[in-house]
Amino acid sequence: MNNESISKAEKFWDRAAKSYDREEKKDEKIYQQILEKLDTHLKSTDHVLDFGCGTGLISNKLTTVVEKIHGIDVSSKMIEIAREKAKNQSLKNITYEHATLFDNRLEQGTYDAVLSFYILHLLDDAQMAIEKTHELLKTDGLLISVTPCMGEKPLMKSLFAFLSKLKLVPKIKSFKQNGLVQLLTTAGFEIIVNEKLSNTSNQYFIVAKK
């Protein structure tokens, strides 16, 4: 993302930060499903990066599953809320930073897993982000993502395009499942899991190994 896009994204998600948890609770069953799936792919020794962590809805729950987790988000307001929640829960093995995936503080070959939930479809250049993720992972590290593929739902695609023009939702890339998989394999990933989340029409849970 260029600086202008980052600035626009930060402003949008800063505005959404206060109501974010309330809105996401509507999808609590889906989040629980994601956590159950994560449990089969993460190890107690893992160091994990949560890219686009929001208010820490998933990151905080993973503190009992992995050794260390680092959450980053373009929204400073989201990070403030995530830090406060972690502090209130006395979570010691988690850190949050207001940062992008391309922040120089993130070192190559550092992470056993990178989480990318509901973020790839919001990026100007998802391919670049996936390639950067590949660099940040250790050998055999995992990129674990959930991405809505709007390209498979033409009516929904049109609706979100209209809402985006009204600035009610951010600009969204209309992926199809096979196109998303192609981005991952082009970046050098091997697809381990590729499945639609139950009770959703177009959200795909994908695990890709470096």
pLDDT in tens, 55-114: 999 999 999 999 999 999 999 999 999 999 999 999 999 999 999 999 999 999 999 999
For residue 162, tell me if it sits in a domain.
yes
Name which of 174, 41, 189 is nearest 120 in CA terms. 174
Query: Count of CB atoms within 10 A of residue 182's CB?
Result: 13
128 and 88, same structural domain? no
Stretch 109-121: mean pLDDT: 96
133 and 58, same structural domain? no
Name which of 199, 117, 203, 118 is nearest 156 in CA terms. 203
Q: Is the pLDDT of residue 163 over 60?
A: no
Q: Is the pLDDT of residue 145 over 70?
A: yes
Per-residue model confidence (pLDDT) at position 168:
53
Q: Is the pLDDT of residue 154 over 90?
A: no
Q: What is the CATH number of the domain that holds 14?
A: 3.40.50.150
3-state secondary structure of 190: strand
For the chain, how many structural domains are there in total? 2
Q: Which domain holds residue 93?
A: 1-37+52-100
188 and 138, same structural domain? yes
92 and 33, same structural domain? yes
User: If pLDDT is split at 50, 70 and 90, which confidence band does 6 have?
Assistant: low
Placement of tokens 């209209």 in the chain:
162
82 and 23, same structural domain? yes
Poorest-pLDDT segment among 10-14, 31-35, 139-143: 10-14
User: How much is the CA Rg of the chain, to the nearest whole Å?
Assistant: 16
204 and 114, same structural domain? yes
User: If pLDDT is split at 50, 70 and 90, which confidence band does 21 have?
Assistant: confident
